[in-house]
A and B are shown apart, each in its own frame.
Chain A
Amino acid sequence: MSKTLPPVDVVLVGGGWTGTLIGKELAAAGQRVVVLERGEPRWTSPNFQAPGVRDELKYGRRDELHQNTATETYTFRNRADETALPMRRWQFASPGNHLGGAGVHWSGVLYRWDPVEFKLRSHYTKRYGAKIFSDDITAQDWPLTYDELESYYDRFDRLVGASGYAGNLKGVLQPGGNPFEPWRSNPYPNPPMKVPYASALFGEAALKLGYHPYVQPSALSTRPYVNSEGLQMNGCVYCGFCSNFGCEQFAKASPQVCVLPAALKLPTFELRTNSHVLRVNLDRERKRATGVTYVDAAGVETFQPAEIVFLCAFAINNTRLLLLSGIGKPYDPSTGEGVVGRNYTHQTTSTVSLFFDEETKLNPFMAAGAAAVTMDDFCTDNFDHGPHGFVGGGYVQIQVVSGAPIGNRAVPPGTPGWGSTWKKAVKRYYNHSMPITITGSNLPVRGGYLSLDPTYTDAWGQPLLRITYDLPDNDIKLSAFLTDKGTEIGKAMRGVTLAVGNPRKKPYASTSYQSTHINGGAAIGDDPKTSVTNRFGQCWDVPNVFVAGSALFPQNSCFNPTGTIGALAYWAADAVKRDYLRAPGRLIA
């Protein structure tokens, strides 16, 4: 059974940050817009209120806000000669689901990417010679610069109520700020977050060692704030239920708090939840999209005709939609030809486990997703890579996210995994342990890619997305270097009795959490041979289909993705309004 609906101007797949933000921008410009969200509608009140929202088992362990692996998951393998198997339980990432998407359960960490990130290959090649990239690395420059994106980062800051202390205002370094910060045209709209005690101890030690620690910027509003859409945010109360949870306080930026109440007032904006998109429909020549096909809440297959299609699903799920729809040439690792699925990346993360004496009471429950003291001394190209022979970098920090009891049971290495000795150690260290976290960049490799799985299908009978990837030696070297630096800082911290570095090792595994930042498969670029879209996220092969979000990233920065995703969304929406609508169906020059 299927039905066809009346046509609209724009259909957007996904009700997360990019779908709601671009949808609102285009609806305000007079376009008739429909946002299709596969999950259910959820709002701060009543859905995210206490005591229900602080259920660590439901949200933290059973992934209530994440993609349901019983209906749709990824399969995984390290190499093309292995058979991929489906992930049954989320351990390596947390793909968003339901209204607001990952913009509901994120931590609120808000970075801008360093200018070097956008010119990664040419910058490193110029400074260190082409050989710094080993042959297996497919990293490439972006087709745009930080300077071009700056005003869009600024707009996103005002949408999400960004908090922080500017380190670089219009090229002028601010005393005491982060000296490595890219220039910004305006200060943060809100002051920096409060500092948890463990983070303060980290900052003190980092300062003593000559580094430049600062309070991490965030999208958790630090005071009552009316955002650029005229919507009210409240100040964070540091309840410690951000990551994996909806924010009860209207303080963590989310599409529900920052975009949707304004968008839904527009007569041209429509939101449909429980609408699972199966594919983009193309015309006979396969050069133009005619709309999308989705399954509605009643299980009815529905065709929504549209003039423009925006793929705004979670990260790499957009790459899957391109593959399922036959848009762009799939990447073939044996020949290196094709582009869709190429340049998959994640995040090269590691930790230093710290254990403290009993006088140092850390109170890990006094927390917020983005509450951290961090440092950029080893990010991007802020240090001389010559002696080290690798590309990229990472930030080192203590971020106190949560003291929730299931997830916070660190014990020193060698402690038995069960029994009375384990229980004693959990009790001894609950308030006296905290990891230093290290978040490193990640490079794409020739043999790493996304493709449709030949064996496993989802609840609608469509092939699952298959991830084939292993970390390049470059990133293993990077992780060893950064983890050594983090361990030195840990050992210099007051109260620390034991610091144990845990660098990232091969193989890259689906059973190890490495942040939720999975990217790529629809690389943005200026050459159709090495990219899926042009500089506005517009598909080379089907110009009325646009891709948003981190599927566009040619490689991953050490910095969290959401700030750049938000800036890119504004950038694309502006290009559509300014150029595309004047000459529909053409590639924007």
Chain B
Amino acid sequence: MADIIVAEDLEKRYGDFVAVNRVSFAVREGEVFGFLGPNGAGKTTTMKMIQCVSPKTSGRLEVFGMDVDRHQPEIKGLIGVVPQETNLDPDFSVEENLLVYARYFDIPAETARESIESLLSFVQLTERKNTSIEKLSGGMKRRLILARALINNPRLLILDEPTVGLDPQARHLIWDRLRALRSRGNTIVLTTHYMEEAAQLCDRIVIMDLGKILEIGRPQDLVQKHAGLDIVEADYKPEVIACLGRLQTKYEVAGDRVQVFTDRAREVAAALIQECSPIEVVSRPSGLEDVFLKLTGRRLKE
């Protein structure tokens, strides 16, 4: 499969502040590619450079093989964008929002009307066609923005925090629609800090922090590599720590818990209970969140 986006040593500075620090990655045609990272990691800045709305400081960035500095209208015409902020046009109804947006892509009104029918049904908003934007719920607005991003039948869909602030029902509906798009062969790039979202949707992810890419790969491979199969947690007490030392088991401290990443959860848990007299031992499968916290640290990102 061809690469849709190629970034090499891509950098973005605001004065002395380095928002994106010489990152390299490639997104293949047809895959769902996720950017994970805490606030301030540089995810949104990276998206804006791909969308050609924020110029890069240095490095190489090509979308569909075109340089982002020199082919902005061409690139923008081939992508669809779901921004982090809801920026629907409050002066218009649901349908008018899509009609006016179609015009920005020079799509003739007749063609636009036809695709609007199918897009509204795709995002389950057909009955809301003539509703004004203020009367839509948060989830409906996000779905309408998704429909708007699809109006030009884009080869690449970029979503910046597509489900932030939505209830579980609304979030699952968006996920469901994104899976449908993937199965049609659309290339999708998204940012998120919901681990479940990344694990559910993404073929490959990068984990970013402080402007740098820390890891890149398939979610399950990253979990396997950094967190093993399972995690055994016990309370963080001097006796437990000393005991883990005696057992020569590697552990990490997470708040008031100690965590042991292991492929032999049962043995470790049994040893802990027999030897270390903890108050509580929990054994669970490890996930992307464990990898994320391990790589980006536990302190608050503000």
A binds B: no
